[in-house]
Amino acid sequence: MNQRALSVLLAGAAVASACTIPTEPLSSNISYPFRAQVQNASRPEVHNQYMNLFQAGGGDQHLFIGPVGVPTYDLTLVDGVINHVPHGVRAVVGGEFSEIDHTTKLFMTGRGDPRAIFQPTYACNPDTDELQIELRFVTWQNQPAGGWICVRHAFDGSHEFRYYPPGNELTDPNRECIKVTLVVIPTTELPPQSSGTTLSTSTIPATSSSTGTATSTPTTSPSAYTDLTALGFRFLGCAPEERWANDGAFRTLSGASQSTDTNTNEGCAAFCTARGFRYAGTEWSRECWCGDSVAATRYPATTLASLEKCNYKCTGDQGQYCGGDSWLTLYERCEVGEACENVVFT
Ligand SMILES: *[C@@H]1O[C@H](CO)[C@@H](O)[C@H](O)[C@H]1NC(C)=O
Ligand SMILES: *[C@@H]1O[C@H](CO)[C@@H](O)[C@H](O)[C@H]1NC(C)=O
């Protein structure tokens, strides 16, 4: 064993013998407001960061380590489930299953998805040795007990929260999901709200009050959508996948697809055209989907507000949005000889 490994081991041993763990069990309810801190002392990029909430479609809140999302100081625990009462949401597991590492999304919703159950447990802080309360992951739905919460790289330098099942040893070589401990940080005082942010609103990067490509905001947010009319594609809007439509279990665009680190809207349009498809849609930053038709129930709205759902930057171009979480940035190939114009959003 090398010296560094030994000293790490000794440091760990010293910590473990220090703080005194009370023997009485903790209730599965925490009624005081708290922040959820993430710890993994060997991963400085996530260690001691906090869980943020990020407004998503259908009233859901996604969970991120910043800079994405809104710092959240008023979480509570009800029967082992993390709640955010002001938004009427609680933490659930499910969706976006990854074939590569078998992880699943952890997010917050008011709907009936299977809840993530945690047990508050005393432990010693790895940095300070002080007593802390950790939220140990117990189970969800009818799954075997165990597993843990992990975080993996998402857009804009953020990390998203996921569930890693017990007995699993798979890792995604391109997007490792880092195992983390969730820690309860009681918030007796709410932070000052003079900075322009409030606790109850989201920080959706989409430029909802502007249209087309003529936007330039003080931040580096892309335009609400990317104009591809010069390339022969009209932008139709931000179209829902099954999760937001409740009309059956089918993909909005069911033809060819690919998932790449170089995804852009023009690249996707070219990919679909080369395969003979009329519609092309980008999603989840990295995905490109093609189809010959779009069901009426999946057709995008024409409001500016509807474009906010497609707020994930493309893996291949941070200056464009490539869909969102189960939302497609949707284009249609223009016919030869007809005017090629984007849908007008109001
Ligand atoms: C936790 O709170 C819920 C809702 O107030 C209540 O129904 C439940 O009995 C409580 N559980 C415990 C263990 O105190
Ligand atoms: C930190 O993350 C790595 C990678 O997931 C994991 O192997 C390790 O056990 C984690 N450490 C702690 C203390 O959770």
Q: Specify the amino acid at residue 239.
A: A
pLDDT tens profile 275-285? 899 999 999 88
Question: Cβ(346) to ligand 2 under 6 A?
Answer: no
CA 151 to centroid of ligand 2, rounded, Å: 11
Which ligand is closest to the CA of 41, given by its number? 2
- 0.85 cut: is pTM over it? no
Q: In terms of Cα–Cα distance, which of 113, 102, 128 is closest to 11? A: 128
Query: What are the CA-CA distances from residue 200 to residues 72, 85, 159, 193, 304 (Å)?
Result: 9, 11, 21, 11, 21
Quick one: CATH architecture of 3-186?
Answer: Trefoil (2.80)
pLDDT tens profile 203-249? 222 222 233 333 333 446 888 899 999 888 999 999 998 878 878 77
Which ligand is closest to the CA of 38, given by its number? 2
| The pLDDT value given to residue 256 | 85
Low-confidence ranges of the chain (pLDDT < 50): 1, 3, 5-16, 191-219
Q: Of the residues 28, 29, 115, 138, which should be mutated to test ligand 1's pocket, given the most ligand atoms within 8 Å of the CB?
A: 29
Which ligand is closest to the CA of 76, given by its number? 1
β-pairing, 317-321 vs 104-109, is: unpaired
CATH 2.80.10 positions along the chain are 3-186
The upper half-sphere exposure of residue 150, i.e. CA atoms within 13 Å in the direction of its Cβ, equals: 22
Residue with tokens 């991120």: 64
- Hey, what are 243's tokens? 């999760």
CA 142 to centroid of ligand 1, rounded, Å: 21
- Hey, what are 332's tokens? 């249609």
Q: Of the residues 24, 30, 32, 78, which should be mutated to test ligand 1's pocket, given the most ligand atoms within 8 Å of the CB?
A: 78
| The pLDDT value given to residue 220 | 66
Residue with tokens 């852009």: 264
| The pLDDT value given to residue 163 | 97
CA 36 to centroid of ligand 1, rounded, Å: 20
Q: What is the DSSP string of 200-228?
A: SS----S-TTS-TT----SS-PPPSS---
Separation CA 329–CA 308 (nearest Å): 11
Ligand 2, residue 150: give the atom nearest the CA. Answer: 5
Q: Spell out which residues line ligand 1, taking CB within 6 angstroms.
A: 27-29, 78-79
Separation CA 304–CA 238 (nearest Å): 10
On whether the CB atoms of residues 234 and 240 are closer than 8 A, the answer is: no
